[in-house]
Structure 1
Amino acid sequence: MKIAFISDIHGNATALEAVLEDIEKKNVDKIAVLGDLCFRGSEPKRALDLIRSLNTDVVKGNADEWVSRGIKEGEVPNEALEIMRKEREWTLKQLTTEDIDFLTNLPTQLTIKLSDDIEIHAFHATPNNLFNMVLPNQSDKELAEQLMQQTSADIFLYGHIHLPYVRFINGKCVANLGSVGLPFDGSKNASYLIVEGEDKHFQVSVHRVSYDVDYVIKQLKEKEYPNYEFLRNVLVKASLS
């Protein structure tokens, strides 16, 4: 079986369309989505509609939780709380009640059989928490403790950190998808994973897709996005720094 995993679209429907077009060329059997669908981007409604049209497995991310119930103190730096709440309000105005219900009711993890012998455990940040940050440079022990809790699984996939990587720990694979809509690794190209396997054999690969970043920035300005300068800088630099 061949499965594409995407996450962290963040309302960037232009990047999502480019990724879906690229996936279509790869002849995958399935697409799975690991959260953060529409918050903090120029086209939250269109991005969410594209995801829903896939009629596939979708798990909840922290940004989906924020859209559905608000951003609590302590979940973001104090100095960012006011503007992020304004971003949420802007996003809510683009969505329907049905859209909000969809985000609210998403599951938080997913198990998929890649083959009779290979199981994938997928989630947004960690299996038990939508907000925890598990970074690529953490030790094998830290990654295993936080991400590899489902002992029956062979492959562990997550999003959230916007930094794609693939590592092998004790014969099992841990990988991050990166981000479709807001990469943080210095490459402006959208990022996603393809996992392919048969019997006991598998491979996990990161794929990068270019899209019109300038057009997305123009959209943000025209739509008077409330945190425009910050988001423009992230899109241009593909980094938070």
Structure 2
Amino acid sequence: MSIAYISDIHGNATALEAVLEDIKQQNIDQIVVLGDLCFRGPEPKKSLDLIRKLDAPVIKGNADAWVTRGIRIGEVPEKVIKMMREEQEWTCAQLTDDDMSYLRELPEQVTESIGDKKVYGFHATPDSLFEVVKPDSSDEDLRKAIMEKEEADIYLYGHIHTPYVRHIDGKTVANLGSVGLPFDEDPRASYLIVNEEGPEIRKVSYDIDQAVQKLYDHDYPQADLVANVYRTGKL
């Protein structure tokens, strides 16, 4: 049994298509999606349609909440809230009422079994769509933020766009990285495969120039900012 976990597509359908093609080559039994599907990329509608066609478990991320109910004061730095609200409005204009309803109704956790291992997935932490848990957090901080709410063998999350795998108390905590908007200084798309041996991070090259061109072709409000992330892998 092998499961591919993907997250943080952020409207980058070019990267998503490359990842889905790579998954086809990996003898995967199932795909699970850990949120942030549409916001901050040139093709929110296409990205969402690709995800919905998978007939896979999908959970909500903070950016999915932003699309459906807006960005609230205190959730992002004050100096960028106007800019991000413009991006949110642009994203919403690309989606249908049915798309918005789908995003609004997504659950916030998902549990799967691989052999005798329980895999618990969420977007940021089990209790929050927004909390940031960094790769260099102490073991104690990881236990408190990630591992205390639910008993599992493997804990997976997205949100920070920085892939890693850690082992604590005989259990595994891992971040998927980001399909469409990586922050780890590696511009390739990132996702995770989990089998009975544990999680493995996979990196996938894709046509970044094409993704950048789509930002400008679609008149994305912050095309220069997002294009720089595509090219450098950092915000």
Normalised to the residue count of structure 1, the TM-score between the two structures is 0.96
**SS of corresponding position for 1:89:** helix
Query: What is the alpha-carbon distance in structure 1 between the residues aligned to residue 89 and residue 224 of structure 2?
Result: 18
Counterpart position of 1:79: 79
- Give the AA of the match of 1:99: D
Q: Is the Cα–Cα contact under 8 Å of residues 182 and 233 in structure 2 kept in the other structure? A: yes
**Matched residue count:** 235
- Give the AA of the match of 1:29: D
Instruction: Please state if 1:36 is matched with 2:18.
Output: no
Q: 1:236 Cα deviation (Å)?
A: 1.4
Counterpart position of 1:192: 191
Matches within 5 A, 1:37-52: 37-52=37-52
Segments of structure 1 that go 5 or more residues without pairing to the other structure are: none
Instruction: Please state if 1:218 is matched with 2:217.
Output: no
Q: 1:233 Cα deviation (Å)?
A: 1.4
Percent identical among aligned pairs is 56
- Give the AA of the match of 1:103: L
Counterpart position of 1:68: 68
Segments of structure 2 that go 5 or more residues without pairing to the other structure are: none
Call closer, same or farther: CA 1:139–1:90 in 2, change over 3 Å.
same
**SS of corresponding position for 1:147:** helix
- Give the AA of the match of 2:233: A
Query: What is the alpha-carbon distance in structure 1 between the residues aligned to residue 231 and residue 24 of structure 2?
Result: 27
Q: Is the Cα–Cα contact under 8 Å of residues 110 and 123 in structure 1 kept in the other structure? A: yes
Query: What is the alpha-carbon distance in structure 2 between the residues aligned to residue 93 and residue 15 of structure 1?
Result: 22
**SS of corresponding position for 2:178:** coil
Q: Is the Cα–Cα contact under 8 Å of residues 121 and 150 in structure 1 kept in the other structure? A: no
Counterpart position of 1:235: 230
Query: What is the alpha-carbon distance in structure 2 between the residues aligned to residue 223 and residue 8 of structure 1?
Result: 20
Matches within 5 A, 1:3-22: 3-22=3-22
**SS of corresponding position for 1:168:** strand
Q: Is the Cα–Cα contact under 8 Å of residues 13 and 43 in structure 2 kept in the other structure? A: yes
- Give the AA of the match of 1:187: D
Instruction: Please state if 1:125 is matched with 2:124.
Output: yes
Matches within 5 A, 1:176-187: 176-187=175-186
Query: What is the alpha-carbon distance in structure 2 between the residues aligned to residue 212 and residue 143 of structure 1?
Result: 35
Which of 185, 201, 204 is matched with 1:206 structurally? 201
Q: 1:224 Cα deviation (Å)?
A: 1.3
Q: 1:95 Cα deviation (Å)?
A: 0.3
Query: What is the alpha-carbon distance in structure 2 between the residues aligned to residue 144 and residue 236 of structure 1?
Result: 34
Query: What is the alpha-carbon distance in structure 1 between the residues aligned to residue 175 and residue 101 of structure 2?
Result: 27
Counterpart position of 1:110: 110
Query: What is the alpha-carbon distance in structure 1 between the residues aligned to residue 82 and residue 149 of structure 2?
Result: 37
**SS of corresponding position for 1:211:** coil
Counterpart position of 2:148: 149
Query: What is the alpha-carbon distance in structure 2 between the residues aligned to residue 205 and residue 50 of structure 1?
Result: 23
Q: 1:151 Cα deviation (Å)?
A: 4.4
Q: 1:222 Cα deviation (Å)?
A: 1.6
**SS of corresponding position for 1:204:** strand
Query: What is the alpha-carbon distance in structure 2 between the residues aligned to residue 213 and residue 110 of structure 1?
Result: 31
